[in-house]
C-alpha cells in the first residue's frame, strides 16, 4: 500500500479526523494500484484515462454509474462516424453517385438510429439486455446502413461495398473468432439480399453475374479473414494480458521495495526519499516541515508475553489508527520494529503540532482489545521541526528520536518537542542518568529523616523524609544532584512511589517496635502531583502496608498548586478525604493567591529557609516572617520554619509565634537507626530553653 500523500488540505485541516471517520482513502494511503495517483473518479475503467471535467460530464450523463459512463462514451464515439458519413452522402448526391431520395433515406436512418440508441443509453434501458453495451445491435445497424448504401448507389457500388467492409472489419478486430465469423455471415446474407432486391427493382442498374461473382469471392474470403482476424484479436488480447501482468509484477516489485509488508505503510527507503523531496520543497518555498517520531510503549512486553504473531497484529492495528489520524497531505511510514514516523508539511507552530500529537496518542490508546486480549497500548512521540531544529534529514530524524526518548523518560504516553537542551547533557550527566535508571532495581536509594521540633516543649512532633542515593561510585548523593534529572527523565514517578511505600513500611515497623506515633512528611514532585493515578496509588500503598493515613503528610510547593488551582483544590480535597495531612512548602517564594490559599485544605504552612537565613539581621525578612505566621494562624494552619541553624533565628521565630522548626540547630537528616536512637534518648526535650 502506498504512503499517505495528498496535497489538498483545504477541507481536511487539523484538528485531524479520527480513524473511524476514514474507512478508506483514495490517495496514497491504504490499497491502491501502484503508480496510480489520479483521483478515483478518473479510473472509470483500466486503460481509459480522462481528465476530470470529462469524467464528471460522462458520469453526470450516466447518472453517476462509471460502467454506464464508459458505454455511453463508446456509443458517442461510434456516433461520430455516422456524423462523418452524412456529409459524404451529401457529396455523393451532389456528384450523382446516389439519388436524392435514397440519400435522404440514408441520412434519416443514421439520425434515427443514433437518436434512438442515445435515448436507450441515457434512460438505462440497455442494462436490461444481456449485452448492456448493445455491441451486436450497433453492428447489425451498421450492416443495414451499409447494405442500404450499396443498394442506393447506382455507380461505384463495388467501391462503396469494399470500403464499407474494410471499415466494418477494422471496427470488429476486438471480436473473437466466433464473433468475427458471425459478422461475416451477416454481411454475406445482407449482400445477397441487396443483389436480389436490385434484380427485382432495379435490373437496369445491376450486372447480376458480376455481383454474384463478387459475392462468391467475399464468401470465400470473409470466413478465412474471420479466422485470421480472430487469431489477431486473440494475439492482441494475450499481449495485452502479458503487458498487464508485467505492469502488475513491476508494481508489486516496487511495492515490496518501498513499502512495509506488515502494515502497508511506506518503509524507511521510501520515507527517506519523500523526506528529501519535502525538505527541498520547504527550502524552495520557505515553509516549515515537522517530523514526528513515534514508538509504542513497552511493546517488547507484548511480544514476550503474547508472542510475535500477536505483536504483528498490534502493529497492524496501531498503523491503521495512526494512518487514520493524518491529513491527506501527510506521509506516514514504519521504520521498523515498533517505530513509526509522520511527516507534516506547511505546519510549524507548536499549538497545531501539539494537537496532532494528542490525536495520535488518543487514537493508539483506544486500542483496547485484539483477538480477545485486553490491552493498554500507548505511544511516545518526539517532534522536530525544519528549519528551527535542523536543516537536513539526518538532523531532523536524530532530533525527533531524542525528543521521543525524552517523552518516554517523562512517563510515556506523551509527546515532547526537540530542543537544543536535550543534547546539552555532558557525558557525566548521561552516565548519571543511566545509573539513575538502575538505582531502584539495585536498591541504591535511602530515606533519611530530619526531626521537626515543637517550639514550646522541644519534643519531636514528626519527621520529614529526605531521599538520598547511595551511588556505587560517587557515594551518598544529595537530592540536588539527581532530583532534577529524575524529573526530566520521568523517573521521579517510580522513585516517588518507592519513597512513599518505604516511608509507610518504616512507620508501621516503628509502631510495631513501640516507638511514639509521629507523622512523616514526604515531598511530592510536580510530576507526581499531576499524575492522575496518585490517589488510587496512595490508597493502595496505605492499605498494603497497614499504615494509618493520618500518619502520612504530603508536602507540596505553592508553584505546583498554582499551576492549576481549581484542579489542585479537587486533588487536595480527595487526599484530605483519605485522612492524609497536607503542607504547603517553600511558602512565600512563589505567587500564591490569598484567595486560593484560603480554599486549600492545608494543615501546615512552611516558612521557606530563604526568609529564615538572614534572621534576625534583615528587617524585611523579620517583617515577612511575622506576616506569614500571622496569616497562617488566622487560617488555622500550623506554621513550620525550615533551615533553622542558629539560636538567634530560633529566638525570632519563637517570639513571632512559630509552632515548629527543623534544621541543623536540632539535627541534620538522620539515617533510620540514628533517628530511632535519637528518639529513644528523649530527643531535644529541655535543651531549647
Q: In what order do the strands lie in the sheet with 331-336?
A: 331-336, 339-345, 289-296, 379-386, 415-417
User: Any idea what DSSP says for residue 413?
Assistant: S
Phi, psi angle pair for 348, to nearest 5°: -140, -10
Decide the pairing of beta strands 520-523 and 460-471: parallel
Residue among 509, 510, 294, 347 at smallest CA distance from 15: 347
DSSP-assigned beta bridge partners for residue 448: 466
> How much is the pLDDT for 55?
58
Task: Report the C-alpha gap between 390 and 397 in whole angstroms.
Answer: 9
Element spanning 239, H or E = helix 208-258
Asked, colleague to colleague, whether 264-424 and 441-680 share their fold, the answer is no
Element spanning 446, H or E = strand 445-454
Task: Report the C-alpha gap between 266 and 336 in whole angstroms.
Answer: 11
Residue among 73, 81, 181 at smallest CA distance from 122: 73
Over its C-alpha atoms, the chain yields an Rg (Å, rounded) of 44
217 burial via Cβ count (<10 Å: 0-12, 13-18, 19+): exposed
141-155 burial: b if 16+ Cβ within 10 Å, else e:
bbbebbbbbbbbbbe
132, three cell numbers: 448492456
Please give the C-alpha separations between residue 247 and each of 40, 42, 254, 378, 570, in angstroms, as whole numbers: 19, 19, 10, 40, 65
pTM here is 0.45
621, three cell numbers: 525578612
21, three cell numbers: 471517520
Residue among 336, 329, 338 at smallest CA distance from 289: 329
Task: Report the C-alpha gap between 450 and 448 in whole angstroms.
Answer: 7
> How much is the pLDDT for 450?
96
Task: Report the C-alpha gap between 314 and 302 in whole angstroms.
Answer: 9
Residue among 45, 60, 61, 3 at smallest CA distance from 28: 3
pLDDT along the chain (689 residues), means of 10: 39 40 35 36 41 59 70 72 75 74 74 80 78 67 67 57 56 61 74 74 69 72 68 73 76 78 91 94 93 91 85 93 88 92 90 93 90 87 92 88 84 88 60 78 93 92 95 90 83 92 95 92 91 92 94 89 85 94 78 67 90 89 91 92 93 95 93 92 59
CATH 3.40.640.10 fits 441-680, yes or no: no
Q: For the chain, report the end-to-end CA distance as a whole number of angstroms.
A: 83
580, three cell numbers: 492524609
Domain extents in the chain: 42-245, 264-424, 441-680
149-153-154 Cα angle (round to 5): 155
Secondary structure class of 686 (helix, strand, coil): coil
Phi, psi angle pair for 605, to nearest 5°: -130, 130
Task: Report the C-alpha gap between 525 and 410 in whole angstroms.
Answer: 13
> How much is the pLDDT for 152?
61
Cβ pair 556, 529 in contact under 8 A: yes
Task: Report the C-alpha gap between 558 and 383 in whole angstroms.
Answer: 31
* Strands (E) located in 283-420: 289-296, 331-336, 339-345, 369-370, 373-374, 379-386, 415-417
> How much is the pLDDT for 371?
84
Cβ pair 639, 633 in contact under 8 A: yes
Cβ pair 115, 108 in contact under 8 A: no
Task: Report the C-alpha gap between 634 and 627 in whole angstroms.
Answer: 11
Task: Report the C-alpha gap between 418 and 382 in whole angstroms.
Answer: 7
611, three cell numbers: 526568609
Per residue, the 3-state secondary structure of 507-523, as one string, reads HHHHHHCCCCCCCEEEE
Helices (H), 532-564: 534-545, 558-563
- The sign of the CA dihedral 499, 504, 505, 511 is positive
Residue among 634, 639, 627, 574 at smallest CA distance from 601: 574
Asked whether the bond before 256 is cis by omega within 30 degrees of 0, the reply is: no
Element spanning 452, H or E = strand 445-454
> How much is the pLDDT for 590?
52
* Domain 264-424 -> CATH class: alpha beta
Decide the pairing of beta strands 339-345 and 289-296: antiparallel
Residue among 606, 603, 494 at smallest CA distance from 550: 603
160, three cell numbers: 462503396
- DSSP helix, strand, coil percent of the chain (3-state; round to 5): 55, 15, 30
Amino acid at each position: 500500500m502506498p504512503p499517505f500523500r495528498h496535497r489538498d488540505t483545504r477541507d481536511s485541516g487539523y484538528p485531524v479526523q479520527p480513524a473511524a471517520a476514514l474507512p478508506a482513502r483514495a490517495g496514497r494511503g491504504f490499497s491502491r494500484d501502484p503508480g496510480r495517483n489520479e483521483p478515483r473518479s478518473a479510473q472509470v475503467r483500466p486503460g481509459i484515462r480522462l481528465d476530470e471535467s470529462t469524467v464528471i460530464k460522462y458520469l453526470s450523463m450516466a447518472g453517476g454509474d462509471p460502467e454506464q459512463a464508459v458505454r455511453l462514451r463508446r456509443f458517442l464515439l461510434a456516433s461520430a462516424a455516422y456524423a462523418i458519413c452524412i456529409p459524404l452522402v451529401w457529396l455523393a448526391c451532389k456528384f450523382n453517385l446516389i439519388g436524392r431520395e435514397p440519400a435522404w433515406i440514408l441520412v434519416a436512418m443514421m439520425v434515427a438510429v443514433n437518436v434512438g440508441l442515445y435515448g436507450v443509453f441515457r434512460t438505462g434501458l440497455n442494462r436490461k439486455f444481456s449485452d448492456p453495451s448493445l455491441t451486436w445491435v450497433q453492428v447489425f445497424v451498421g450492416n443495414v446502413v451499409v447494405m442500404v448504401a450499396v443498394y442506393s448507389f447506382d455507380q461505384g457500388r463495388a467501391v462503396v461495398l469494399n470500403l464499407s467492409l474494410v471499415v466494418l472489419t477494422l471496427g470488429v478486430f476486438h471480436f473473437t473468432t466466433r464473433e468475427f465469423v458471425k459478422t461475416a455471415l451477416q454481411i454475406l446474407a445482407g449482400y445477397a439480399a441487396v443483389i436480389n432486391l436490385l434484380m427485382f427493382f432495379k435490373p437496369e442498374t445491376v450486372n447480376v453475374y458480376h455481383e454474384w461473382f463478387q459475392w462468391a469471392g467475399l464468401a470465400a474470403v470473409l470466413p478465412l479473414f474471420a479466422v485470421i482476424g480472430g487469431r489477431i484479436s486473440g494475439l492482441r488480447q494475450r499481449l495485452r494480458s502479458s503487458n498487464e501482468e508485467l505492469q502488475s509484477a513491476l508494481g508489486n516489485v516496487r511495492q515490496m521495495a518501498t513499502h512495509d509488508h506488515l502494515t502497508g505503510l511506506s518503509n524507511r527507503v521510501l520515507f527517506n526519499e519523500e523526506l528529501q523531496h519535502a525538505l527541498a520543497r520547504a527550502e524552495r518555498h520557505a515553509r516549515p516541515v515537522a517530523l514526528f517520531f513515534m514508538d509504542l510503549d513497552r511493546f517488547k512486553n507484548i511480544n514476550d508475553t503474547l508472542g510475535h504473531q500477536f505483536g504483528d497484529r498490534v502493529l497492524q492495528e496501531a498503523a491503521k489508527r495512526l494512518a487514520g489520524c493524518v491529513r491527506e497531505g501527510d506521509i506516514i511510514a514504519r521504520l521498523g520494529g515498533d517505530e513509526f514516523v509522520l511527516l507534516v508539511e506547511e505546519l510549524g507552530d507548536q499549538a497545531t503540532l501539539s494537537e496532532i500529537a494528542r490525536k495520535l496518542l488518543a487514537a493508539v490508546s483506544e486500542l483496547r482489545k485484539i483477538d480477545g486480549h485486553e490491552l493498554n497500548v500507548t505511544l511516545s512521540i518526539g517532534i522536530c521541526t525544519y528549519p528551527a531544529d535542523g536543516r537536513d534529514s539526518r538532523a531532523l530524524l536524530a532530533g525527533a528520536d531524542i525528543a521521543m526518548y525524552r517523552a518516554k523518560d517523562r512517563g510515556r504516553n506523551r509527546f515532547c518537542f526537540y530542543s537544543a537542551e536535550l543534547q546539552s547533557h555532558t557525558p557525566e550527566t548521561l552516565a548519571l542518568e543511566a545509573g539513575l535508571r538502575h538505582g531502584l532495581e539495585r536498591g541504591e536509594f535511602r530515606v533519611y529523616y530530619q526531626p521537626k521540633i515543637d517550639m514550646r516543649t522541644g519534643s519531636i512532633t514528626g519527621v520529614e523524609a529526605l531521599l538520598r542515593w547511595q551511588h556505587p561510585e560517587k557515594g551518598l548523593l544529595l537530592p540536588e544532584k539527581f532530583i532534577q534529572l529524575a524529573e526530566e527523565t520521568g523517573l521521579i514517578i517510580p522513585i516517588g512511589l518507592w519513597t512513599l511505600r518505604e516511608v509507610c513500611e518504616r512507620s508501621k515497623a516503628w509502631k510495631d517496635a513501640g516507638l511514639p506515633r509521629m507523622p512523616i512528611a514526604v515531598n511530592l514532585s510536580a510530576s507526581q502531583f499531576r499524575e492522575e493515578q496518585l490517589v488510587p496509588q496512595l490508597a493502595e500503598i496505605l492499605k498494603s502496608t497497614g499504615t494509618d493515613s493520618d500518619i502520612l503528610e504530603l508536602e507540596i510547593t505553592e508553584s505546583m498548586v498554582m499551576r492549576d488551582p481549581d484542579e489542585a483544590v479537587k486533588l487536595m480535597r480527595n487526599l484530605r478525604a483519605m485522612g492524609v495531612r497536607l503542607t504547603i512548602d517553600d511558602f512565600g517564594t512563589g505567587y500564591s493567591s490569598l484567595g486560593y490559599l484560603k480554599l486549600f485544605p492545608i494543615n501546615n504552612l512552611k516558612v521557606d529557609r530563604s526568609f529564615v537565613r538572614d534572621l534576625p539581621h534583615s528587617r524585611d525578612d523579620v517583617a515577612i516572617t511575622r506576616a506569614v505566621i500571622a496569616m497562617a494562624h488566622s487560617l488555622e494552619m500550623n506554621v513550620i520554619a525550615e533551615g533553622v541553624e542558629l539560636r538567634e533565628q530560633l529566638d525570632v521565630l519563637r517570639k513571632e509565634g512559630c509552632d515548629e522548626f527543623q534544621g541543623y540547630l536540632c539535627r541534620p537528616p538522620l539515617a533510620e537507626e540514628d533517628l530511632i536512637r535519637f528518639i529513644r534518648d528523649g530527643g531535644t526535650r529541655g535543651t531549647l530553653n
